[in-house]
Amino acid sequence: MNPLVSLIITIVAAVFAFRINTYLGVGFVVVAIAYIYFSNRANLIVGKANAAYSMGDKEGAVEYYKNAVSVAKKKPTILAGYALMLLRCEQPDEALSQINNVLSTMNLPQSIKLQAKQIRALINHRLGNYDDAYEEGLDVFESGHTTSAMRGLLGLLMISAEKDDDKTLKFCEDCFD
């Protein structure tokens, strides 16, 4: 459901609860706030992890993400973000393990699957598996994920995998146009 619609329904329900009884209204608001907090707790922890990373605390960022993963249980976006944070914190082996867990999930939405494959291409590049990284990046690019970041990543992977220089130059020129 659209978050705006949910907010409107909650406000209308709170107004009706207050009209019936003040205590019922206060109780409804308390329950609604608790529900909103607990349903978004993992995202709040991810925000703390990103803040810790931006302040240079890599260990703290990884710990916050571990906490977010334990709270979120099976949210693939949180798991993919954890793998990316591990990569950023120079732990590519653990990041590869985490992203492979995400990609082994059944019924993964296509957008998250493409994002996870893009992250796995970055991880393989960091590990020195340039051919695997290029194949993964090319697969993501050919499946329709043609953002400017993906084009830049694929150009980097082509250079790293030492693909045909003319083909790489042509691809990069086409992306620039």
- What is the average pLDDT score of the chain? 88
**pLDDT of 176 strictly over 80:** no
Lowest mean pLDDT among 20-24, 105-109, 137-141: 105-109
What pLDDT shows up at residue 1?
A: 62
**pLDDT (mean) for 11-16:** 90
DSSP string, 14-27: HHHHHHH-HHHHHH
For residue range 108-153, list pLDDT tens digits in order: 888 889 899 999 999 999 998 888 888 888 888 888 877 888 888 8
- CA 35, CA 174: separation in Å to the nearest integer? 49
pTM, two decimal places: 0.80
**pLDDT (mean) for 171-177:** 77
What pLDDT shows up at residue 91?
A: 92
CB 151 within 8 A of CB 141: yes
What pLDDT shows up at residue 126?
A: 92
Give the whole-number percent of the chain exceeding pLDDT 70: 99
**Distance, C-alpha 170 to centroid of its chain:** 31
b/e for 56-70, b at 16 or more Cβ within 10 A?
A: eebebbbebbebbbe
| 173: enclosing H helix or E strand | helix 165-176
